[in-house]
Structure 1
Protein backbone atom coordinates (compact mmCIF):
# COMPACT_ATOMS: atom_id res chain seq x y z
CA UNK A 1 0.00 0.00 0.00
CA UNK A 2 1.53 3.29 -1.11
CA UNK A 3 1.55 6.14 1.37
CA UNK A 4 1.45 9.75 0.21
CA UNK A 5 4.25 11.54 2.04
CA UNK A 6 3.96 14.93 0.38
CA UNK A 7 0.91 16.25 -1.45
CA UNK A 8 0.86 18.92 -4.17
CA UNK A 9 0.25 21.82 -1.79
CA UNK A 10 2.96 20.66 0.64
CA UNK A 11 5.40 20.31 -2.26
CA UNK A 12 4.57 23.79 -3.53
CA UNK A 13 5.12 25.26 -0.06
CA UNK A 14 8.37 23.33 0.47
CA UNK A 15 9.76 24.50 -2.87
CA UNK A 16 8.77 28.10 -2.15
CA UNK A 17 10.39 27.95 1.29
CA UNK A 18 13.54 26.48 -0.26
CA UNK A 19 13.50 29.29 -2.85
CA UNK A 20 13.41 31.94 -0.12
CA UNK A 21 16.24 30.18 1.73
CA UNK A 22 18.34 30.03 -1.45
CA UNK A 23 17.91 33.79 -2.01
CA UNK A 24 18.69 34.58 1.62
CA UNK A 25 21.76 32.36 1.89
CA UNK A 26 23.16 33.63 -1.43
CA UNK A 27 22.30 37.27 -0.65
CA UNK A 28 20.29 37.48 -3.85
CA UNK A 29 20.60 35.72 -7.18
CA UNK A 30 23.87 37.12 -8.53
CA UNK A 31 25.97 34.34 -10.14
CA UNK A 32 23.35 31.75 -9.17
CA UNK A 33 22.68 28.70 -11.36
CA UNK A 34 20.47 25.68 -10.75
CA UNK A 35 21.54 22.19 -11.80
CA UNK A 36 19.06 19.36 -11.42
CA UNK A 37 20.11 15.73 -11.31
CA UNK A 38 18.28 13.95 -14.11
CA UNK A 39 15.42 13.41 -14.15
CA UNK A 40 13.31 14.44 -11.18
CA UNK A 41 15.92 16.86 -9.80
CA UNK A 42 15.77 18.78 -13.06
CA UNK A 43 11.98 19.16 -12.79
CA UNK A 44 12.38 20.51 -9.26
CA UNK A 45 15.14 22.90 -10.39
CA UNK A 46 12.77 24.22 -13.06
CA UNK A 47 10.11 24.85 -10.44
CA UNK A 48 12.59 26.66 -8.17
CA UNK A 49 13.68 28.79 -11.15
CA UNK A 50 10.04 29.70 -11.78
CA UNK A 51 9.70 30.69 -8.12
CA UNK A 52 12.87 32.82 -8.43
CA UNK A 53 11.42 34.52 -11.50
CA UNK A 54 8.21 35.36 -9.61
CA UNK A 55 10.03 36.39 -6.43
CA UNK A 56 13.09 38.25 -7.75
CA UNK A 57 12.10 38.89 -11.39
CA UNK A 58 15.30 37.26 -12.62
CA UNK A 59 15.97 34.41 -15.04
CA UNK A 60 18.36 31.97 -13.37
CA UNK A 61 20.07 29.47 -15.68
CA UNK A 62 18.79 25.92 -15.19
CA UNK A 63 20.46 22.78 -16.45
CA UNK A 64 20.25 19.05 -16.02
CA UNK A 65 23.14 16.74 -15.32
CA UNK A 66 23.26 13.02 -16.07
CA UNK A 67 25.29 11.24 -13.42
CA UNK A 68 24.98 7.68 -14.74
CA UNK A 69 28.58 7.43 -15.96
CA UNK A 70 29.81 8.66 -12.58
CA UNK A 71 27.98 6.09 -10.44
CA UNK A 72 30.09 3.69 -8.42
CA UNK A 73 27.46 0.94 -8.22
CA UNK A 74 27.27 0.03 -11.93
CA UNK A 75 29.61 -2.34 -13.75
CA UNK A 76 31.88 -0.65 -16.30
CA UNK A 77 30.32 -2.65 -19.15
CA UNK A 78 26.89 -1.26 -18.30
CA UNK A 79 28.23 2.31 -18.06
CA UNK A 80 29.81 2.00 -21.53
CA UNK A 81 26.43 1.07 -23.06
CA UNK A 82 24.82 4.28 -21.81
CA UNK A 83 24.46 7.29 -24.07
CA UNK A 84 25.84 10.48 -22.57
CA UNK A 85 25.61 14.00 -23.82
CA UNK A 86 27.78 16.68 -22.38
CA UNK A 87 25.66 18.27 -20.06
CA UNK A 88 25.23 21.96 -19.39
CA UNK A 89 24.80 24.67 -22.01
CA UNK A 90 26.15 27.36 -19.67
CA UNK A 91 29.41 27.79 -17.79
CA UNK A 92 29.41 27.05 -14.06
CA UNK A 93 32.92 28.38 -13.44
CA UNK A 94 32.88 30.92 -10.58
CA UNK A 95 29.10 30.50 -10.19
CA UNK A 96 27.09 29.61 -7.10
CA UNK A 97 25.61 26.27 -8.09
CA UNK A 98 22.51 24.90 -6.42
CA UNK A 99 22.51 21.15 -7.06
CA UNK A 100 18.91 19.90 -6.91
CA UNK A 101 17.61 16.37 -6.38
CA UNK A 102 14.33 14.84 -5.30
CA UNK A 103 15.45 12.42 -2.56
CA UNK A 104 18.67 12.20 -0.57
CA UNK A 105 19.37 8.80 0.92
CA UNK A 106 22.87 7.27 0.99
CA UNK A 107 24.66 10.22 -0.62
CA UNK A 108 26.11 8.20 -3.51
CA UNK A 109 24.05 10.02 -6.15
CA UNK A 110 25.32 13.34 -4.82
CA UNK A 111 28.93 12.11 -4.88
CA UNK A 112 28.47 11.17 -8.54
CA UNK A 113 26.82 14.54 -9.27
CA UNK A 114 29.73 16.42 -7.69
CA UNK A 115 32.16 14.52 -9.92
CA UNK A 116 30.01 15.34 -12.96
CA UNK A 117 29.85 19.02 -12.00
CA UNK A 118 33.63 19.22 -11.62
CA UNK A 119 33.96 17.96 -15.19
CA UNK A 120 31.79 20.93 -16.28
CA UNK A 121 33.81 23.67 -14.62
CA UNK A 122 34.97 25.03 -11.28
CA UNK A 123 32.10 26.60 -9.35
CA UNK A 124 32.72 29.18 -6.65
CA UNK A 125 30.36 27.24 -4.38
CA UNK A 126 27.99 24.27 -4.54
CA UNK A 127 24.93 23.96 -2.31
CA UNK A 128 22.60 20.98 -2.21
CA UNK A 129 18.80 21.29 -2.30
CA UNK A 130 16.64 18.19 -1.86
CA UNK A 131 12.90 17.84 -1.63
CA UNK A 132 13.09 14.84 0.73
CA UNK A 133 15.91 13.82 3.09
CA UNK A 134 15.55 10.17 4.14
CA UNK A 135 18.69 9.96 6.29
CA UNK A 136 20.89 6.82 6.36
CA UNK A 137 24.01 8.31 4.77
CA UNK A 138 26.84 6.12 3.59
CA UNK A 139 28.89 9.19 2.65
CA UNK A 140 29.42 12.50 4.45
CA UNK A 141 26.80 14.47 2.52
CA UNK A 142 24.51 17.06 4.09
CA UNK A 143 21.88 19.09 2.23
CA UNK A 144 21.77 22.87 2.60
CA UNK A 145 18.10 23.22 1.64
CA UNK A 146 15.55 20.55 2.61
CA UNK A 147 11.88 20.42 1.71
CA UNK A 148 10.98 17.67 4.16
CA UNK A 149 12.86 15.30 6.49
CA UNK A 150 11.41 11.81 6.35
CA UNK A 151 13.59 9.36 8.29
CA UNK A 152 13.05 5.81 7.10
CA UNK A 153 13.73 2.42 8.61
CA UNK A 154 16.27 0.14 7.00
CA UNK A 155 15.59 -3.57 7.09
CA UNK A 156 18.46 -5.86 6.18
CA UNK A 157 17.46 -9.32 5.12
CA UNK A 158 20.78 -10.38 3.67
CA UNK A 159 23.96 -8.39 3.34
CA UNK A 160 25.29 -7.56 -0.10
CA UNK A 161 28.89 -8.60 -0.85
CA UNK A 162 29.93 -4.95 -0.33
CA UNK A 163 27.96 -4.51 2.91
CA UNK A 164 29.87 -5.55 6.04
CA UNK A 165 26.79 -5.14 8.26
CA UNK A 166 25.25 -8.38 9.57
CA UNK A 167 21.71 -9.44 8.78
CA UNK A 168 19.04 -8.39 11.25
Structure 2
Protein backbone atom coordinates (compact mmCIF):
# COMPACT_ATOMS: atom_id res chain seq x y z
CA UNK A 1 0.00 0.00 0.00
CA UNK A 2 1.11 3.51 -0.82
CA UNK A 3 0.32 6.30 1.68
CA UNK A 4 -1.21 9.40 0.09
CA UNK A 5 -2.36 11.27 3.23
CA UNK A 6 -0.84 11.28 6.69
CA UNK A 7 -2.39 12.43 9.99
CA UNK A 8 -1.42 16.10 9.52
CA UNK A 9 -2.82 16.20 5.98
CA UNK A 10 -6.11 14.67 7.14
CA UNK A 11 -6.34 17.20 9.96
CA UNK A 12 -5.66 20.09 7.55
CA UNK A 13 -8.26 18.82 5.06
CA UNK A 14 -10.93 18.51 7.76
CA UNK A 15 -10.05 21.97 9.08
CA UNK A 16 -10.31 23.47 5.58
CA UNK A 17 -13.63 21.70 4.97
CA UNK A 18 -14.95 23.03 8.30
CA UNK A 19 -14.08 26.62 7.32
CA UNK A 20 -15.66 26.14 3.87
CA UNK A 21 -18.89 24.87 5.47
CA UNK A 22 -19.08 27.96 7.70
CA UNK A 23 -18.40 30.29 4.79
CA UNK A 24 -20.86 28.69 2.36
CA UNK A 25 -23.65 28.48 4.95
CA UNK A 26 -22.96 31.89 6.54
CA UNK A 27 -22.55 30.24 9.93
CA UNK A 28 -23.78 26.99 11.41
CA UNK A 29 -27.17 27.82 12.94
CA UNK A 30 -29.20 25.79 10.41
CA UNK A 31 -26.67 22.98 9.91
CA UNK A 32 -27.11 19.32 10.80
CA UNK A 33 -24.22 16.91 10.25
CA UNK A 34 -25.09 13.38 9.10
CA UNK A 35 -22.20 10.92 9.10
CA UNK A 36 -22.38 7.84 6.91
CA UNK A 37 -21.36 4.72 8.79
CA UNK A 38 -18.50 4.04 9.70
CA UNK A 39 -15.71 6.50 8.92
CA UNK A 40 -18.09 9.24 7.80
CA UNK A 41 -19.29 9.34 11.39
CA UNK A 42 -15.75 9.87 12.69
CA UNK A 43 -15.09 12.61 10.12
CA UNK A 44 -18.42 14.24 11.11
CA UNK A 45 -17.36 14.26 14.77
CA UNK A 46 -14.14 16.05 13.87
CA UNK A 47 -15.96 18.58 11.71
CA UNK A 48 -18.52 19.09 14.50
CA UNK A 49 -15.73 19.81 16.99
CA UNK A 50 -14.14 22.34 14.61
CA UNK A 51 -17.45 24.07 13.87
CA UNK A 52 -18.31 24.34 17.57
CA UNK A 53 -14.87 25.73 18.41
CA UNK A 54 -14.97 28.27 15.57
CA UNK A 55 -18.60 29.37 15.88
CA UNK A 56 -19.31 28.66 19.58
CA UNK A 57 -22.61 26.99 18.61
CA UNK A 58 -23.65 23.38 19.20
CA UNK A 59 -24.08 21.53 15.90
CA UNK A 60 -26.31 18.41 15.86
CA UNK A 61 -24.76 15.22 14.50
CA UNK A 62 -26.67 12.12 13.43
CA UNK A 63 -25.40 8.76 12.27
CA UNK A 64 -26.73 7.04 9.16
CA UNK A 65 -26.29 3.50 7.88
CA UNK A 66 -27.68 3.70 4.32
CA UNK A 67 -27.18 0.00 3.56
CA UNK A 68 -30.93 -0.66 3.88
CA UNK A 69 -31.47 1.77 0.99
CA UNK A 70 -28.78 0.49 -1.40
CA UNK A 71 -30.01 -0.81 -4.74
CA UNK A 72 -27.44 -3.63 -4.68
CA UNK A 73 -28.34 -4.92 -1.21
CA UNK A 74 -31.26 -7.26 -0.68
CA UNK A 75 -31.82 -6.79 3.05
CA UNK A 76 -34.68 -8.51 4.77
CA UNK A 77 -34.15 -7.27 8.32
CA UNK A 78 -36.70 -5.26 10.26
CA UNK A 79 -34.86 -1.93 10.29
CA UNK A 80 -37.34 0.89 10.66
CA UNK A 81 -36.19 3.39 8.01
CA UNK A 82 -38.22 6.14 9.66
CA UNK A 83 -36.40 5.84 13.01
CA UNK A 84 -32.72 6.29 12.23
CA UNK A 85 -31.93 9.83 13.36
CA UNK A 86 -33.29 13.14 14.60
CA UNK A 87 -35.14 15.95 12.86
CA UNK A 88 -33.67 17.41 9.69
CA UNK A 89 -36.74 19.21 8.30
CA UNK A 90 -35.82 22.62 6.83
CA UNK A 91 -32.19 22.17 7.91
CA UNK A 92 -29.04 22.36 5.80
CA UNK A 93 -27.86 18.77 5.99
CA UNK A 94 -24.14 18.17 5.60
CA UNK A 95 -23.81 14.51 4.55
CA UNK A 96 -20.32 13.19 5.33
CA UNK A 97 -18.49 10.13 4.00
CA UNK A 98 -14.86 9.09 3.80
CA UNK A 99 -14.61 8.21 0.08
CA UNK A 100 -16.90 9.00 -2.82
CA UNK A 101 -16.58 6.51 -5.66
CA UNK A 102 -19.54 5.38 -7.80
CA UNK A 103 -22.06 7.50 -5.90
CA UNK A 104 -24.29 4.59 -4.93
CA UNK A 105 -23.77 4.97 -1.18
CA UNK A 106 -24.58 8.68 -1.41
CA UNK A 107 -27.71 7.91 -3.45
CA UNK A 108 -28.83 5.44 -0.78
CA UNK A 109 -28.15 8.03 1.93
CA UNK A 110 -30.18 10.62 0.01
CA UNK A 111 -33.07 8.16 -0.26
CA UNK A 112 -32.91 7.62 3.52
CA UNK A 113 -32.85 11.37 4.21
CA UNK A 114 -35.80 12.08 1.94
CA UNK A 115 -37.84 9.27 3.43
CA UNK A 116 -37.14 10.61 6.91
CA UNK A 117 -37.80 14.35 6.46
CA UNK A 118 -37.52 17.23 4.01
CA UNK A 119 -34.17 18.98 4.45
CA UNK A 120 -33.77 22.51 3.11
CA UNK A 121 -30.53 21.52 1.32
CA UNK A 122 -28.15 18.57 1.28
CA UNK A 123 -24.44 19.18 0.86
CA UNK A 124 -21.84 16.43 0.51
CA UNK A 125 -18.46 16.13 2.22
CA UNK A 126 -15.96 13.47 1.18
CA UNK A 127 -12.44 13.20 2.50
CA UNK A 128 -11.44 11.56 -0.82
CA UNK A 129 -13.02 11.77 -4.27
CA UNK A 130 -11.59 8.98 -6.39
CA UNK A 131 -13.76 9.47 -9.48
CA UNK A 132 -15.55 6.71 -11.45
CA UNK A 133 -19.06 8.04 -10.82
CA UNK A 134 -21.98 5.94 -12.03
CA UNK A 135 -24.52 8.54 -10.90
CA UNK A 136 -24.59 12.34 -11.33
CA UNK A 137 -23.39 13.06 -7.80
CA UNK A 138 -20.56 15.38 -6.80
CA UNK A 139 -19.10 16.52 -3.52
CA UNK A 140 -19.47 20.09 -2.27
CA UNK A 141 -16.46 19.80 0.04
CA UNK A 142 -13.60 17.47 -0.90
CA UNK A 143 -10.46 16.81 1.12
CA UNK A 144 -8.51 15.55 -1.88
CA UNK A 145 -9.25 14.42 -5.43
CA UNK A 146 -7.28 11.23 -6.06
CA UNK A 147 -7.56 9.79 -9.57
CA UNK A 148 -7.53 6.00 -9.34
CA UNK A 149 -8.09 3.01 -11.55
CA UNK A 150 -11.11 0.82 -10.84
CA UNK A 151 -8.72 -1.92 -9.70
CA UNK A 152 -7.17 0.24 -7.00
CA UNK A 153 -8.70 0.63 -3.56
CA UNK A 154 -8.61 3.73 -1.39
CA UNK A 155 -8.18 2.66 2.23
CA UNK A 156 -8.98 5.19 4.97
CA UNK A 157 -7.69 4.57 8.48
CA UNK A 158 -9.08 6.75 11.26
CA UNK A 159 -8.78 6.56 15.01
CA UNK A 160 -10.45 5.07 17.02
CA UNK A 161 -11.26 2.37 14.42
CA UNK A 162 -7.60 1.91 13.48
CA UNK A 163 -4.30 2.75 15.15
CA UNK A 164 -3.49 5.69 12.85
CA UNK A 165 -5.02 8.43 10.74
CA UNK A 166 -3.88 7.82 7.16
CA UNK A 167 -5.13 7.24 3.63
CA UNK A 168 -3.58 4.64 1.36
CA UNK A 169 -3.98 3.39 -2.19
CA UNK A 170 -3.85 -0.38 -2.46
CA UNK A 171 -3.27 -1.96 -5.87
TM-score normalised by structure 2 residue count: 0.84
Q: Partners of 2:31 and 2:77 in 1: how far apart? A: 34
CA drift of 1:81 comes to 3.8
Residue 5 of structure 2 corresponds to residue 9 of structure 1: no
For the aligned residue pairs, the C-alpha RMSD in angstroms reads 1.3
Partner residue of 1:53? Answer: 52
Unaligned runs of 5+ in 1: 156-168
Partner deviation per Cα, 1:40-59 (whole Å, 9 max, x = no partner): 10110010000011111111
Q: Partners of 1:64 and 1:138 in 2: how far apart? A: 25
Which structure's relative contact order is higher, taking Cα pairs within 8 Å and 6+ residues apart? 2
Higher strand content, 1 or 2: 2
Q: Partners of 2:80 and 2:142 in 1: how far apart? A: 29
1:127 to 117, 123, 135: 123
Alignment of 1:21-100 (within 5 A): 21-74=20-73, 76=74, 79-81=75-77, 86-88=83-85, 90-100=86-96
Would you say how many aligned residue pairs link Structure 1 and Structure 2? 150
Partner deviation per Cα, 1:59-94 (whole Å, 9 max, x = no partner): 1000111111101112x3xx1147567211x21000
CA drift of 1:6 comes to 1.1
TM-score normalised by structure 1 residue count: 0.85
Paired residue secondary structure (1:152): coil
Paired residue secondary structure (1:115): helix
Unaligned runs of 5+ in 2: 152-171
Change (3 A) 1:120 1:81: closer
Q: Partners of 1:145 and 1:82 in 2: how far apart? A: 34
Q: Partners of 1:51 and 1:84 in 2: how far apart? A: 32
- Segments of 4+ moved more than 6 angstroms: none
Which structure: larger Rg? Answer: 1
Q: Partners of 2:16 and 2:37 in 1: how far apart? A: 22
Residue 137 of structure 2 corresponds to residue 138 of structure 1: no
Judge conservation of contact 2:130–2:148 (CA < 8 Å) in 1.
yes
CA drift of 1:38 comes to 0.8
Partner deviation per Cα, 1:81-115 (whole Å, 9 max, x = no partner): 47567211x21000000000000000000000000
